Amino acid sequence: MTATPPLKGIISYPVTPFDAVTGEVDLAALRKLTGDLVAAGSHAVAPLGSTGESAYLTEQEWDAVCESVLATVAGRVPTLVGVSHWSTEGTIRRARVAASHGATAIMVLPQAYWKLTEAELVRHYDAVARATDLPMMLYNNPGTSGVDLQPETVVALAREIPNLTMVKESSGEVSRFRAIRELSDGELSVYNGSNPIALDAFRAGAAGWCTAAPCLVPQQVLELHTAVSLGQHDRADALLQQLLPFLRFIVHHGLPRAVKAGLNIQNRPAGPPRPPLLPLPEEETRQLRTMLTRLQAAG
């Protein structure tokens, strides 16, 4: 029996704005950005992923961002909160905060300095899953975590943990979408976290696309999803071709840097990324401005 996913479509990831002078979290700008994402038609909003620089927030800041985003969304669309922390205890704490503010689901990256064994992964995910009644998304992003969870490992973990019902797959390997669905007999919903393969992922059965791109170009991203949903293959291919240089650019240069630079270009300032990250350099900012101008004209 195929599971009904609690999330589907375009799952938009906001950056966490910082005040350009004080460096503190700018909650007013965060509420504005979150409201923009909902108003644009995002099917879900996902704060506190790597795009949101969650690793660079204090626990007090993390709580404030979580509360502000969920209060702004106010149940209008589902929410997916990234609760990853170096420790199991810290991840559990964040999961409970997300649940207390009404999150739809939580996302957990195996964030660890030491490479975790399968037994350690099971214990970590199981402990976090038991902390709330929320459905949980396993996040496989070998580029940032250093851990690459193969489809067989992902499905084995899900069999041990009942409310692990979703997988965000960011390896960029399209074959994994079908593999995870087939190995789990359709019980696991799979989501794409690799921007450049968005169309191939949907065609391989991805339930949704987890992306920060709607912060800057929501119309084109949502139109692509609509075209896929309606079986308008030529239209979807054309839209992706328009978007690809931009999608590859923001991934290559780092989402917090690139998205914040883009927001500044659009006169929607979100401040700089937090050190050790540096703002996007001037030449790359110029390239991004050109891309955004072209996309606006094409839209």
**Helix ranges restricted to H, 187-281:** 198-203, 218-229, 233-252, 255-265
Residue 248 within a domain: no
Beta strands in 115-186 (DSSP E): 136-140, 164-169
Residue 4 within a domain: no
Q: Which domain holds residue 130?
A: 9-231
Residue 194 within a domain: yes
Residue 154 within a domain: yes
CA dist list (Å): 143 to 11, 117, 138, 201, 290: 20, 18, 15, 18, 28
3-state helix, strand, coil in the chain (%, to 5): 50, 10, 35
The mean pLDDT values, 10 residues at a time, for the chain of 299 residues are 75 98 97 98 97 96 98 98 96 98 96 82 95 96 80 95 95 94 95 95 96 98 97 96 97 97 98 97 98 91
Whether 13 is catalytic: no
Tokens of 152: 């067989």
Q: Please, what's the b/e burial string for 54-69 (b: 16 or more CB within 10 A of its CB; e: otherwise)?
A: bbbbeeebbbbbbbbb
Which of 13, 139, 191, 260 is catalytic? The answer is: 139
pLDDT of residue 167: 97
Asked if 299 and 220 count as a contact pair (C-beta separation under 8 A), the reply is: yes
Q: Domain containing 164 — which CATH number?
A: 3.20.20.70
Residue 76 within a domain: yes
Determine the Cα–Cα distance for residues 81 and 88; give it in Å rounded to an integer.
16
Has 4 been labeled as part of a binding site?
A: no
Residue 137 identity: M
In which residue are the tokens 């891309």 written?
A: 291
Which of 8, 168, 191, 260 is catalytic? The answer is: 168
Show Cβ contacts of residue 268 under 8 Å, excluding neighbours closer than 6 positions. Answer: 29, 32, 33, 36
Residue 70 within a domain: yes
Residue 240 within a domain: no
Whether 8 is catalytic: no
Tokens of 264: 């500044």
Residue 34 within a domain: yes
Q: Please, what's the b/e burial string for 238-255 (b: 16 or more CB within 10 A of its CB; e: otherwise)?
A: ebbebbeebbebbbebbb
Instruction: Tally the domains of the chain.
Output: 1
pLDDT of residue 1: 37
Helix (H) / strand (E) element for 211: namely strand 208-211
**Closest by CA position to 9, among listed 50, 36, 52, 38:** 38
Residue 272 identity: P
Beta bridge partners of 211: 12
